[in-house]
Amino acid sequence: MTDRLDTPIQYLKGVGPHRANLLARLGVETVEDLLTLLPKRYLNRSHIQEISKLQIGEKATVLGRIEDFGISQTRTGQDMLVMMLKDESGFIYCRWFNQPHMLKKLFNRGAWMIASGEVTYYEGKQFLHPEFEILSEEKELLHTGRIVPIYPLTEGLSHRQLRTFVKGGLDRYKDSIKENLPEYLLKRRDLLPRHEAILNLHFPETLEHPETAPTPQLLSPQA
């Protein structure tokens, strides 16, 4: 099969028919649909902080191992998942109130995890409902140590899977991304070439880069 952007998404490595059906819920049916899927926002993981240096009220990202976790109850009887996340400098609690029993199934003691949120205090430093991602032992650069996109999701798909699919799509199909705006317009509006705009949309080096890739530039030219 030639490397065409209208290739059905199921033929992208790692996707297959089942995940293709899940991606279709997001409007992703072809490789081009995937490469032009707009992130909802970005999470800056380029600056991992030591837990001991966190200040109350700041928004921060930490990387550590899951020391312990379990379900407890608040004074009002609401179930809550409490986790202790630890790095070499100290520990921070992560607490979730929504569906704690389902969340509990995701965690394993000793696993690497990255967590981001606002630092508050209750019996110690804590994140309340932090963004999180379980990492492998290798802590791939694709998922941490950089600015990462947060995509719209559907049940059965994770941010990690979507980022992996997008990276695979860009690696294979980057030479198939053709410019759809005239050169004079790119210069007049100081826009990036389409292939660079799509790359920076998904894996920006700074948070300023996504603004150089406006949505209309990413769309296919109309027939």
Q: What is the pLDDT of residue 196?
A: 86
Per-residue pLDDT, averaged over 93-102, amounts to: 86
Mean pLDDT computed over 149-173:
87
CA separation for the pair 80, 73 (Å, rounded): 6
Q: What is the pTM of this model?
A: 0.61
What is the pLDDT, as a whole number, of residue 154? 86
Categorize the per-residue pLDDT at 125 as very low, low, confident or very high, splitting at 50, 70 and 90: very high
Helix ranges (H only) for 25-67 are: 31-35
What's the pLDDT tens digit per position in 67-84? 999 988 888 888 889 999
How far apart (Å, rounded) are the C-alpha atoms in residues 55 and 115?
15
Closest CA to 169 of 20, 18, 61: 20
Region 58-70: what's the mean pLDDT?
92
Task: Please determine, for residue 112, whether its predicted confidence score (pLDDT) is greater than 80.
Answer: yes
The pair of three-digit structure tokens given for residue 3, joined into one six-digit string = 């490397």
- pLDDT, position 78: 84
Mean pLDDT, the chain, rounded, equals 83
pLDDT at 156 over 90: no
Nearest CA among 113, 32, 177 for reference residue 23: 32
The radius of gyration of the chain from alpha carbons, rounded to an integer in Å, stands at 20
φ, ψ for residue 86 (rounded to 5)? -130, 135
Rounded-to-integer distance, Cα 48 and Cα 146, Å:
9
Please give the share of the chain, as a percent, with pLDDT higher than 70.
86
Mean pLDDT of 1-27: 90
Does the structure show a pLDDT above 90 at 35?
yes
pLDDT band of residue 2 (cuts 50, 70, 90) is low
pLDDT band at 145 (very low <50, low <70, confident <90, very high): low
Which pLDDT does position 189 carry in this prediction?
83
- In the CATH scheme, what architecture does the domain 47-135 have? Beta Barrel (2.40)
- For position 221, what pLDDT does the model report? 35
Task: Answer whether 35's CB lies under 8 Å from 28's CB.
Answer: no
pLDDT score, position 33: 94
pLDDT band at 143 (very low <50, low <70, confident <90, very high): low
**Domain ranges within the chain, ordered by starting residue:** 9-43+146-218, 47-135
